[in-house]
Structure 1
Amino acid sequence: MVAIINYNAGNIRSVLYALERIGVDHELTADPTKIRAADKVIFPGVGHAASTMAHLNDTGLADVIRSLTQPVFGVCVGMQLLCSHSEEGDVDCLGIFPEKVRQFRPVNGEKVPHMGWNDVQVKHGNGWLSDEVDGGYCYYVHSYFVESGPDTVATTNYCGTDFAAMMRRDNFYAAQFHPEKSAAVGERIIRDFLAV
């Protein structure tokens, strides 16, 4: 069973629909017992880093997420909250990844948020992703990005910056884009995560 963490974030329903399309048993829950017992956990969403971290801390979900030993997949703001610190509200995050979250600063008139389709350049030897993901296009909506670092397994470029499109550390996996809205490439990524 896949547990989708239910917290004060938007856009969680699209993840549920994606799992329904591929026939995966799943449950949307904030129950720590169910989250800890799940085979896999997805930590999705769209939201403001500071207010979301306040909610995770207040409800105890922050400690639950840090304690998980099964595969966990952070998506969009879920990926950013797995990092050490975010400029969005100047907040300390969950600290799974040591990288920091920065705000886009346009240099050539780019629009922020970064919204739409952009590529994914996969690093070889990541031990997770299928070959067809490399060079594929995925759907992004974000004004903040995770700086590329030792946990980066795929990159994308926007505003003249190469940033982490996907990350992995131990049992934690993450994507800045929305795989559930990224057509065949996104479905392949979800299936790759479910297979780890």
Structure 2
Amino acid sequence: MDLCGISARASSYAKESSYNVISERKGIFESCLNSKSKAVEQIDESDISSDRKVVGITTFPAGEGVKIGVIAYEPPESTREDPIIQMGYTDMSGEKKIYNIHVNEVDPENASDLEMFAYLTYKELTGEKIPNALNNYDAYSRIKDYDGDYYRHDYINGESRFIGEKVNAKELLDRVHAWISQIQHPDAQMTARWCEWLQNLFEK
């Protein structure tokens, strides 16, 4: 029996299967990325105003031990009637990407992390900040991590998932709150209160 040959074929099959899974997932997320959203408007670098101000920062995974920083700005074209949070980052290929997020168009029941980052950052600017949290989006990200579906280690699809993967934040909060509120530990109880705070925010 040619054990070496069997081992080689098994290894080749495993690599091919892994590649197919990765390609399939990448295709799914690229499809999400290309889907239209009223809230998200990609703009050209030449349209950036020098008067915009930094209002937040977060990251998404781009490689093992590598994260890409996303900076949130409040541009001068943002108004009370049409609040806008502008997002900017440079991807792994060196391409600069800028998005205007129209906050009033963000639907927490069907929103990407890009949209939720903008939404929660704007709410914080208007005085609605989660107590005892670093910031609103950080608290939301921690809650999402507890839900077991966060992509912090998905290095291949980190960018497309951050921009295009839609999540029902209300259902996510309900799931996490249901079990974490039963744990009698200060950290768990604080997270439960964060869930409740965000649930109330979404109802306004």
- Tell me the TM-score normalised to structure 2 length: 0.28
Q: Which has the higher contact order (CA 8 A, sep 6+)?
A: 2
- Tell me the TM-score normalised to structure 1 length: 0.29
More helix by share: 2
Larger radius of gyration: 2
